[in-house]
A and B are shown apart, each in its own frame.
Chain A
């Protein structure tokens, strides 16, 4: 089935540790994005990419790094984790339908729950 796959589902880190959240999509779309979701804050955009080799910052990019070497993969790196980065992270990419409208109907992964102690 076409979709977005995220790993890991759960992760616990200590302050200062680094890690990478993986995201892969098989919908062959150029656009991919990372959101974080915190209670009462909704989903906030961290970084996004409009194609291989092209990335840009979203609303809350500080403390996160991304790269896009292939159409399929869009990893999110935390270089030095902080307790404020405790959150649920979602990767998203547009579904094949509705592309003609120009509007993005994002398909989300199942999420990665990160706890930073």
Chain B
């Protein structure tokens, strides 16, 4: 059964304090790993898709990396506006079109 676990559940950082969020996954035939950002009261917003181990993608202060068992979302010199819940999801070859989500990591960046 496909499974996604995110850690930590919550993370508090000072502005400028870099850190990483973890997404561990078990999936048969990874077709894609997705990162989303969700602000309070809103729907998830797409950030990145990673397809194969070793792949990296960047957007402003965020960089996502992928290995065969986990993905990291690195946040460099975060700002208060980066505060949000970050969701990881996987699409496997055995689940037709179904994204399996982790529980999310809630990030708070204090000025």
Chain A interface residues (CB < 8 Å from chain B): 4, 31, 33, 35, 40-45, 48, 50, 58, 90, 92, 95, 98, 101-111
Contacts and interface: CB of A to CB of B under 8 A. Distances in A.
Contact of A111 (B43, B49, B99): B43
B49 A107 contact: no
Contacts of A105: 34, 46, 49
Contacts of A31: 97
Given A58-B98, A106-B99, A111-B41, 16 more contacts: A31-B97, A33-B97, A33-B98, A42-B104, A45-B98, A48-B97, A50-B96, A95-B46, A98-B49, A103-B31, A103-B91, A104-B99, A105-B34, A106-B44, A109-B43, A111-B42
Interface of B: 4, 9, 31-32, 34, 41-46, 49, 51, 87, 89, 91, 96-104
Contacts of A33: 97-98
B105 to A, nearest CB: 11
Given A48-B97, A48-B98, A50-B97, A43 B44 contact: yes
B32 A103 contact: yes
